[in-house]
Structure 1
Amino acid sequence: MSHESNTVDKTNSVDSSRRRMMQFLAGAPLLPLAGSFLTAGCSSTAVASSLAATSSDAKLNAVRFISMDAPSLSDPAAMSTTTIGSSMQLRFTDGTSREVALAYKPFFITGDLVPDGKGNTVVAGGYYDINSQPILDPTANNRQFFSDCPDGSSLLTVDGAHVDGVYGNPVFAVVQFEYTSQNGAQEDMYGRLPSPIAVLTLDQNPQTGELKLVKYSNVDTSGVGGLWITCGASLSPWGTHLSSEEYEPDASDLDNAEFKSYSKHLFGDENKANPYNYGHLPEVTVNKDGTGSMNKHYCLGRISHELVQVMPDERTVIMGDDATNGGLFMFIADRKRDLSSGKLYVAKWTQVSGKGPGAGDISWIKLGHATSDEIKQLVDSGLKASDIMDIRTKDPHDNRFTHIRYSGKDNWVKLKPGMEKAAAYLETHRYAALVGGSLGFTKMEGTTVNIADKKAYSAMSYIYKSMTDGSTDIHVEGPKAGAVFEHTLLGGQKDNHGQPIDSEWVSTHMHVPYNLAGEDLAKPDYLGNLANAERIANPDNIKFSEKLRTLFIGEDSGLHVNNFLWAYNVDTGELSRVMSCAAGAESTGLHAVDEINGWTYIMSNSQHPGDWESPLHDKVKDTLDPYIRANFKGGYGSMVGYITGMPKLA
């Protein structure tokens, strides 16, 4: 038989086997197969037979993740890279179950040369100035700066897409890069470079679900004046990538060395960047050819944006705020699928319990209504902080000023006449506190939604400082290891003026469900963990999968030696460790996608491996540091990739 005939027979066999899997596992999640699976002596027929070994009328009943052990110094290699030893169990109505072993597949390590789709290569995670020219590191032989901190990602499809080099299904991943930790001289570079965003064109194998990188395209950010510290991200219901700009620069601080360095690297002029241009919500649209275009929305408040969640009405946006003295914010757009105008609200927390992480009822204060264009015009007019409000850092002993807490410090503020709108949208933290919002949350990170149960979840990475010191109306016990709060979502709510809030997806109550709070340790464990390694610590990225009934939780912990990715079953309360990142690395870029062309995906990145902290890593650093350097370009790179599944054969 000719080679061509063999190829056709194998393809037909795979197609037939996949049809059998889909027939027998109607409704079951199919994770992409590990790339080498079908060539490693495991036929697709065997896969189908294993998965389909149940009665033909049995339906999927539940999905359970089986936890992996945390890696230890008995296997330093496992502690020094992305490690998965977990599995996914599919349970059927006839009482049978099937198990799928999980693994991790990277697209690249930042700093790799990857295809640009034009026959050339580009540096993955590379930095560019306002003129799209590479930003070079003079302390590293003028190599291009690249990020070790990939963060928010979205996996999506585009109708009618066509990209050369794709032979299966075109799928796109938008990946943003938060910052780079250091230059070649190991000097701190946090916040000193403009954040890049890239569109990855991926070739999806229809038979296995495997994704292969075909093209890497940087998104031009010059039209929005560059991007500032892009952290978490989410996919909008209409298929765009909703980015973030966290830790907005304080416009009242005229001597901010970090921001001046940012401006110098972006514009070549340390005084050109306007701080009011940053701290907003960028939106990326992927084009049919695998490129991307960008818009920035100025009417969702200028806060420390983390990943936001658009509700199923396609108008309501619930937003965390990754800050000390942060707030819970909500935006309700005037029109579906259009974030260019709407109403902005801040939450008022009425505490009902201060025990542990606490609980509170939520009401809403309206901050204003605006269009993005009118706020952008205020920015472009050259407005300064002193034009909007009088801000003092020492008590002026003047009753015209109001005392507030801002970023963990005391401020006394007085609004300038007629500047309510400018304050609401450009000095959002200060104005929200001034009008009575509860600005006492600490590091409220990602938000996600459970549509079926009409619940939302917000990660409170650390519960300390402004949440525990009694300085605001939020006063709870902890833990420092943080927790994930659940929101009760209802309609029929009114704002502080008694006006109806035009949404059925309004948070009315926050509490922490069973198993979703961390546990601080009185003394470090044998590895140096400062929080219980069998529980979450410092949750950050969170995403909910409707199909899996699972809340995925990625950590950004200074209390765990290795940060983990967890799966929490909202029906059983079971918490399972799915993945371990390299020591010192944060679990980022989380995105759970229930279905793309019949396959289920869990996207996951990591950032800054080997970011050693003392005393946390004192017991492991000397052993693990050589491994980290070998795995991640001397400690300058990090991984972008996704989780695969390999059915265990019966």
Structure 2
Amino acid sequence: MSDLPHLARRHALKFLASAPLLPLGASSALLAACRTPNKSTAAEYVATTFTSMPAPMLADAAAMATTTVGSTLNVHYGDQSTRSYQLAYQPFFITGEQVPDGKGGKILSGAYFDINNKAIIDRSIAGKERQIFSDAPDGTSLLSLPNPTVDNIKGKAVFAVVQFEYTSRDQLGAASGRNNAYGTLPSPIAVLTLDQDQDNGKLSLVKYHNVDTASVHGLWITCGASLSPWNTHLSSEEYEPDAQFISENPFFKKFSKNLFGDENKANPYHYGHLPEVTVHPDGSGSIKKHYCLGRISHELIQVMPDHRTVLMGDDYTNGGFFMFIADKEKDLSAGTLYVAKVGAGFSIDPAAPGAALHWIKLGHASSAEIERLADTLKPSDIMRSVKTDPADVSYTKLYMDGIANWVKLKPGMERAAAFLETHRYANLVGASMGFSKMEGTTVNIKDKIAYSALQNIQGSMVKNNPAWNPASGITVDKAIVAGGIFAHKLTGGQRDTSGAAIASEWVPVQTRALLIGEDIAADALGNLANPDKIANPDNLKFSEKMRTLFIGEDSSTHVNNFLWAYNVDTKKLARIMSMPSGAEASGLHAVDEINGWTYIMSNFQHAGDWSGKLHSKVKATLDPLIKANYNNRFSAAVGYLTADPAQPKLSKI
């Protein structure tokens, strides 16, 4: 990795010495709450706790302008001792850097390529053409393989898959971002080969491989990701292009032009699905796209321990809660798609008992079957959709991303609609399509609880909002812009709404609020949500061994977004990392053990993405610092939490 700018080195790469073994002392009550009832042996791992760092303030502007870590990870053992690790952040690279290609050469990190693997060029400034690269790295998976064959490994080879969601602006500085360029470029996805030092667990980049996505028609807006139980990277394509009104989408034509060189060639039905990347021992990767998990705003899915049941959030206004059950273990190429119907009692009060979940079967299909339908059907073959009331009772009124639609399904097109027009079809069959931006989903296996992040609780969830549907069963009296996290009880022996058995022991049957953000009037720094509580949760990952729910923010309400650790036994919430101001926390992945070492992966996106009132008090001070740290705001970091002198271990050292 090449040198980072001065401020990034100062805060992102400072490593503090690990503390020696200490008596548990005042932590004994906390430890007792976490300990298993059986008597612990001296060397037995018992629990993990995190100290909480303060939110950075403008008095230390440098800390607000980069990744700042001030948390300690404490590992508690059966002999009443604790090993403490002072955490820090280590980037593998910042995007736009030249990194090793594993062949003795260099490759541009986060770079964009067309369908023929040719560089996509930014020509916004004549004479300064350059390959476009992303400032929005997102979903990341860390994994190992039994027999790696990558050269130049001194320790052991470990692999990471990282995907890139979008790029914010061109060289000219056009404030493109989500409003003007979101979805105009085909998302890159890369395999990183990392050399794991066996003396200290530290990771260093030795090879960057760009995955060829031509076989899956390129990728559309890859966001969150998860590692499958069979060691593959499960990607995402969110905000599926609306095929019914694709002529109204200026981004999609630009996407098609950038990918194919032809603004009319891309087919919207090829996007909004679930890509899966397999890493090979030589550090390369291959990809396939599953078309049978519903064409929704995929964000971050979670496969259950049965290797068949998949829970899926839906990063969408008027979104749903979806479940897919594969026909075979470790194979997502065919299965049954369901959507939830929420029963009475939905509440955002964590003290409330929660609401029942019932499951509507949308259909069964294979990926190959749905891809063939995508290849051959036009939107008008499946249904008729209009945005003005046709005054025709054969049409059904519903809401798509907050916008009223009137929809009429063509006879015999139920199956095609279920998998290619999933949002509309779910509405037609009576699903609870009222969630607002349900993002990351993860699972606590021991307790059989899944968790989902609602980035916002607003819009379609709020009583009498123009996008609210009282029949959805999802109603709150007042919006909470800061959002929250919901917990879902999982069990087996369930039947769908038609009475047919659901072949899974991991079906969500109840949902309740777990953690809810708190909107506030702007404080002295500009925060619009309580900085000591979560706000706008996005990435979620649960560590079974640490009994910890990790939470990454994508906030329009915190001046700096944070990474949090919430212990589900002690109910303690700890802030463990702060992102550069204006940046989203992304790429979260918690790994209990790879070759004995413990990792928390984390990236960030779009540092210095200033938002009106939220950043009005800090922008003037922080903007030049962030520009100096991150390549004039064109770059962002891909990396992980580390410690000195060694990476954390949960086992006794």
- Paired residues for 1:67-82 under 5 Å: 67-82=52-67
Cα-to-partner distance string for 1:93-117 (whole Å, 9 max, x where unaligned): 3433332110000000000000111
Could you tell me which amino acid in structure 1 is paired with residue 122 of structure 2? D
In structure 1, the partner of 2:30 is none
Kept in 2, the 8 Å contact 1:246–1:304? The answer is yes
In structure 2, the partner of 1:23 is none
Shift of 1:256: 1.2
Shift of 1:647: 7.0
Shift of 1:463: 0.3
Could you tell me which amino acid in structure 1 is paired with residue 475 of structure 2? H
Go from structure 1 to structure 2 and tell me whether the alpha carbon gap of 1:36 and 1:433 turns closer, same or farther (over 3 Å shift).
Answer: closer
In structure 1, the partner of 2:576 is 578
For residues 239 and 216 of structure 1, the distance between their equivalents in structure 2, rounded to whole angstroms, comes to: 19
In structure 1, the partner of 2:497 is 496
Kept in 2, the 8 Å contact 1:562–1:583? The answer is yes
In structure 2, the partner of 1:609 is 607
2:324 matches 1:331: yes
In structure 1, the partner of 2:516 is 517
Kept in 2, the 8 Å contact 1:100–1:647? The answer is no
In structure 1, the partner of 2:429 is 435
Aligned match for 2:633, one of 626, 635, 645: 635
Shift of 1:631: 0.5
Aligned match for 2:89, one of 104, 119, 122: 104
Cα-to-partner distance string for 1:115-136 (whole Å, 9 max, x where unaligned): 1111111110000000000100
In structure 1, the partner of 2:150 is 163
Shift of 1:326: 0.4
2:206 matches 1:219: no
2:171 is paired with a residue of what secondary structure? Answer: coil
In structure 1, the partner of 2:309 is 316
Aligned match for 1:239, one of 231, 236, 257: 231
Shift of 1:58: 4.9
For residues 128 and 58 of structure 1, the distance between their equivalents in structure 2, rounded to whole angstroms, comes to: 50
In structure 2, the partner of 1:461 is 455
For residues 355 and 157 of structure 1, the distance between their equivalents in structure 2, rounded to whole angstroms, comes to: 40
In structure 2, the partner of 1:415 is 409
Kept in 1, the 8 Å contact 2:534–2:553? The answer is yes
Shift of 1:355: 5.1
For residues 205 and 528 of structure 2, the distance between their equivalents in structure 1, rounded to whole angstroms, comes to: 38
In structure 1, the partner of 2:341 is 348
2:242 matches 1:255: no
Shift of 1:360: 2.1
Go from structure 1 to structure 2 and tell me whether the alpha carbon gap of 1:304 and 1:36 turns closer, same or farther (over 3 Å shift).
Answer: closer
For residues 158 and 63 of structure 1, the distance between their equivalents in structure 2, rounded to whole angstroms, comes to: 27
- Paired residues for 1:366-385 under 5 Å: 366-381=361-376, 383-385=377-379
Could you tell me which amino acid in structure 2 is paired with residue 610 of structure 1? G
1:252 is paired with a residue of what secondary structure? Answer: helix
Could you tell me which amino acid in structure 2 is paired with residue 175 of structure 1? V
In structure 1, the partner of 2:29 is none
- Paired residues for 1:593-604 under 5 Å: 593-604=591-602
In structure 2, the partner of 1:124 is 109
Shift of 1:186: 2.4
Could you tell me which amino acid in structure 2 is paired with residue 194 of structure 1? P
For residues 229 and 348 of structure 2, the distance between their equivalents in structure 1, rounded to whole angstroms, comes to: 36
2:184 matches 1:184: no
For residues 643 and 544 of structure 2, the distance between their equivalents in structure 1, rounded to whole angstroms, comes to: 19
For residues 192 and 79 of structure 2, the distance between their equivalents in structure 1, rounded to whole angstroms, comes to: 41
In structure 1, the partner of 2:141 is 154
2:248 is paired with a residue of what secondary structure? Answer: coil
In structure 1, the partner of 2:33 is none
Shift of 1:356: 4.6
In structure 2, the partner of 1:210 is 202
Could you tell me which amino acid in structure 2 is paired with residue 603 of structure 1? M
In structure 1, the partner of 2:20 is 50
- Paired residues for 1:19-30 under 5 Å: none
Q: Tell me whether 358-367 or 313-322 shows the greater mean CA deviation.
A: 358-367
Could you tell me which amino acid in structure 1 is paired with residue 374 of structure 2? V
1:366 is paired with a residue of what secondary structure? Answer: strand
For residues 402 and 173 of structure 1, the distance between their equivalents in structure 2, rounded to whole angstroms, comes to: 45
In structure 1, the partner of 2:552 is 554
For residues 201 and 335 of structure 1, the distance between their equivalents in structure 2, rounded to whole angstroms, comes to: 30
Could you tell me which amino acid in structure 2 is paired with residue 378 of structure 1? L
Shift of 1:478: 3.8
2:286 is paired with a residue of what secondary structure? Answer: strand
Could you tell me which amino acid in structure 2 is paired with residue 211 of structure 1? L
In structure 2, the partner of 1:475 is 475
Q: Tell me whether 498-507 or 470-479 shows the greater mean CA deviation.
A: 470-479
For residues 398 and 601 of structure 2, the distance between their equivalents in structure 1, rounded to whole angstroms, comes to: 40
1:375 is paired with a residue of what secondary structure? Answer: helix
Kept in 2, the 8 Å contact 1:330–1:346? The answer is yes
Shift of 1:479: 1.7
In structure 2, the partner of 1:20 is none
For residues 110 and 596 of structure 1, the distance between their equivalents in structure 2, rounded to whole angstroms, comes to: 25
Could you tell me which amino acid in structure 1 is paired with residue 400 of structure 2? Y
Kept in 2, the 8 Å contact 1:245–1:281? The answer is yes
For residues 95 and 346 of structure 2, the distance between their equivalents in structure 1, rounded to whole angstroms, comes to: 45
For residues 249 and 574 of structure 2, the distance between their equivalents in structure 1, rounded to whole angstroms, comes to: 43
Q: After TM superposition, what 4+ stretches of structure 1 lie above 4 angstroms from structure 2?
A: 34-37, 52-56, 355-358
Identity over aligned pairs, percent: 61
For residues 282 and 354 of structure 1, the distance between their equivalents in structure 2, rounded to whole angstroms, comes to: 34
For residues 612 and 114 of structure 2, the distance between their equivalents in structure 1, rounded to whole angstroms, comes to: 35
For residues 340 and 41 of structure 2, the distance between their equivalents in structure 1, rounded to whole angstroms, comes to: 50
For residues 356 and 454 of structure 1, the distance between their equivalents in structure 2, rounded to whole angstroms, comes to: 21
For residues 164 and 344 of structure 2, the distance between their equivalents in structure 1, rounded to whole angstroms, comes to: 37
Aligned match for 2:188, one of 178, 190, 196: 196
Kept in 2, the 8 Å contact 1:590–1:602? The answer is yes
For residues 439 and 507 of structure 1, the distance between their equivalents in structure 2, rounded to whole angstroms, comes to: 16
- Paired residues for 1:31-42 under 5 Å: none
In structure 2, the partner of 1:619 is 617
Could you tell me which amino acid in structure 1 is paired with residue 358 of structure 2? S
1:323 is paired with a residue of what secondary structure? Answer: strand
Go from structure 1 to structure 2 and tell me whether the alpha carbon gap of 1:562 and 1:355 turns closer, same or farther (over 3 Å shift).
Answer: closer
For residues 155 and 96 of structure 1, the distance between their equivalents in structure 2, rounded to whole angstroms, comes to: 30
Shift of 1:350: 1.2
Kept in 1, the 8 Å contact 2:200–2:645? The answer is no
For residues 344 and 43 of structure 2, the distance between their equivalents in structure 1, rounded to whole angstroms, comes to: 47
For residues 463 and 486 of structure 2, the distance between their equivalents in structure 1, rounded to whole angstroms, comes to: 20
Shift of 1:207: 1.1
Q: Tell me whether 61-70 or 210-219 shows the greater mean CA deviation.
A: 61-70
Kept in 2, the 8 Å contact 1:360–1:511? The answer is yes
For residues 155 and 495 of structure 1, the distance between their equivalents in structure 2, rounded to whole angstroms, comes to: 36
Shift of 1:91: 2.5
For residues 398 and 84 of structure 1, the distance between their equivalents in structure 2, rounded to whole angstroms, comes to: 59
Go from structure 1 to structure 2 and tell me whether the alpha carbon gap of 1:371 and 1:361 turns closer, same or farther (over 3 Å shift).
Answer: same
For residues 142 and 193 of structure 1, the distance between their equivalents in structure 2, rounded to whole angstroms, comes to: 17
Q: Tell me whether 72-81 or 186-195 shows the greater mean CA deviation.
A: 186-195
Aligned match for 2:444, one of 443, 450, 455: 450
RMSD between aligned alpha carbons?
1.8
Go from structure 1 to structure 2 and tell me whether the alpha carbon gap of 1:355 and 1:343 turns closer, same or farther (over 3 Å shift).
Answer: closer
Kept in 1, the 8 Å contact 2:41–2:79? The answer is no
Shift of 1:255: 3.0
Cα-to-partner distance string for 1:427-457 (whole Å, 9 max, x where unaligned): 0000001100110000000100000111100
In structure 2, the partner of 1:298 is 291
Kept in 2, the 8 Å contact 1:174–1:198? The answer is yes
Shift of 1:557: 0.2
For residues 330 and 41 of structure 2, the distance between their equivalents in structure 1, rounded to whole angstroms, comes to: 41
Could you tell me which amino acid in structure 1 is paired with residue 20 of structure 2? S
Shift of 1:361: 1.2
2:258 matches 1:265: yes
1:313 is paired with a residue of what secondary structure? Answer: coil
Shift of 1:393: 0.8
Gaps (5+ residues) in structure 1?
1-33
TM-score, structure 1 length as denominator?
0.91
2:391 matches 1:397: yes
Shift of 1:394: 1.0
TM-score, structure 2 length as denominator?
0.90
